[in-house]
Amino acid sequence: MKAKSFTPADVNAMLDAETAAATGAEHSAAATCVDAADWLASPDEPDTPLVHGMIERGEMFAAVGQSKAGKSFIALQLCVCVAAGIPFLGYAVERSRVYVANLEISAKQFKKRLRRMCAKLDVNPETLRGWLFVENLKGENVTWQWVLDSCLVNRCALAVLDPFYQVFKDDENNVEACTAAIEEMKKFQKAAITLGIVFHSPKGFSGDRQLIDMISGSSILARFPESVIGLLNHAYNKTCRVVDAVLRNYPPPEPFTIELDDGAFTLAPDVAPDVETTRTRMMNRAKQEQPALADAIIETLRAAQADAERRGETFKGLPVGVAADKARKLYVSKNGGALGEKRMPAEIKTMAVDGALIVTVRQSERNGEKLVGLPEQMEWYTKPELELAPAKEVRQGGVE
């Protein structure tokens, strides 16, 4: 029997029927598929940025950072800038009506924050009339539909929800629940409303993670937003934050530093965007501890000299290991906490290089260790011509 031939229209009809049967949904290929050649033959649609170079109108962005990093501040500042039509941290904006769902801060504190921010940004509150709408919902059982309805009633083009966990009342690692939440977020896009959500990052240093992995919970939450704006703690300046971004529609900007100044963030171009990580925290801690470590070593050596003089002996220094152990115990007793066993030997070496301590080159007769002391205590070694005491370890030319 001759095989039946099918036209392209027949094939499309069968595929439509199979898809509908498999999904239980009506589907028309003609409604969703286009011929690529025809599509490319039509002119490109112009970009419609809300924040130029960062956020496209009608899409979603996330603001994310560690606890107390200032996420709510930067989200509110974005809202004020868009509502007032002024640049946001150097980025031009398209003035639009803005809705803010404050779900975490008391209304009276949020008002004070908004007032200080307007003053810092030189925004007259009357400028915001009809452009910025605030709904204080702390303690309310808020739903996605509640927020969407409020946006539609006030005809807002931007909705900012702060924070995510107050409207998403499920396990953030629950993929099914997160998928359902994303479907709710899509309703804002269908209504041509830009949706911004404030997310918390997992515990630990955000700087140790890639920006896309900073949003706490299921990975699908991090991959849905078109723009992820990260607010990272600065490595050395507690009042500064580093802004980094992953953008789907625009080239990613270089990280830059901002500073919280009297209620609002301002650009800090003279501060390098150094992000706090586990490594920088350890280095910073070591730098802060260094003066106290040095004091413990010096006090240990002077106490040892006093003990030797009480016994009528000439002090020639302490074995390096003994000095490090005694100084470490003294430091811990004065400052509390723990101190790694390698810290004091390393500090002794650093101080010797700087000339604050003298360490003998050859081993001493005591315990087979090198001796360490303050410069004035080690003149028997560095200046043997003074004949302060018998010295078997004299080395011509001074110290290491």
How confident is residue 395, by pLDDT bands cut at 50, 70 and 90?
very low
What band does 398 get if pLDDT is binned at 50, 70 and 90? very low
| Side-by-side strand order, sheet with 227-233 | 132-136, 98-102, 158-162, 194-200, 60-65, 227-233, 240-247, 256-261, 264-267
DSSP lists the bridge partners of residue 260 as 265
Cis peptide before 252 (omega within 30 of 0): no
Binned at pLDDT 50, 70 and 90, residue 67 comes out as confident
Residue 389 has pLDDT above 80, yes or no: no
Under the banding of pLDDT at 50, 70 and 90, the label for residue 191 is very high
Residues 6+ apart with CB under 8 A from 60: 185, 188, 189, 194, 195, 196, 197, 224, 225, 226, 227
Q: How crowded is the C-beta side of 57, counted as CA atoms within 13 Å?
A: 17
Asked whether 99 and 194 are in contact (CB, 8 A), the reply is no
Give the confidence band of 203 by pLDDT, cuts at 50, 70, 90. low
Tell me the sheet residues that pair with 102: 136, 162
Is residue 81 within 8 A of residue 131, CB to CB? The reply is: no
Q: What local confidence, expressed as pLDDT, does residue 92 receive?
A: 96
Q: Domain-by-domain residue ranges, the chain?
A: 49-276, 279-386
Q: Which residue has the tokens 């036209």?
A: 7
**380: number of Cβ within 10 Å:** 21
State the average pLDDT over residues 245-258: 90
On whether the 279-386 domain is CATH 3.40.50.2300, my answer is: no
Torsional class of 23: left (φ above 0), alpha (ψ -120 to 50), beta (otherwise): alpha
Query: For 294-339, what is each residue's pLDDT tens digit?
Result: 889 999 999 999 999 999 998 989 999 899 999 988 888 888 777 7
- Other beta carbons within 10 angstroms of residue 307's beta carbon come to 11
pLDDT of residue 393: 43
Kindly give the pairing relationship between strand 227-233 and strand 60-65: parallel
pLDDT at 119 over 90: yes
| Average confidence (pLDDT) over 25-51 | 83
What is the pLDDT, as a whole number, of residue 390? 45
Cα–Cα distances (Å) from 161 to 22, 60, 147, in that order, read 37, 11, 8
What lies within 8 Å, CB to CB, of 154 at 6+ separation is: 97, 99, 133
User: What's the length of the chain?
Assistant: 400
Give the global pTM.
0.67
pLDDT in tens, 153-164: 999 999 999 999
Q: What rounded mean pLDDT belongs to the chain?
A: 83
Domain 49-276 class, CATH top level: alpha beta
Decide which of 277 and 252 is more confident.
Answer: 252
How far is residue 91's CA from residue 170's CA, in Å, rounded to a whole number? 35
Amino acid at 8: P
Strand-by-strand arrangement of the 358-359 sheet: 318-319, 371-373, 358-359
Give the span between the Cα atoms of 207 and 231, in whole angstroms: 10
**CA gap 257, 242 in Å, rounded:** 5
Q: How far is CA 86 from the centre of its chain?
A: 26
Q: What φ, ψ does residue 165 adopt, rounded to 5°?
A: -65, -15
> Which residue type is seen at 295?
D
- What mean pLDDT is predicted for residues 256-285? 81
Number of Cβ within a 10 Å radius of residue 138: 14
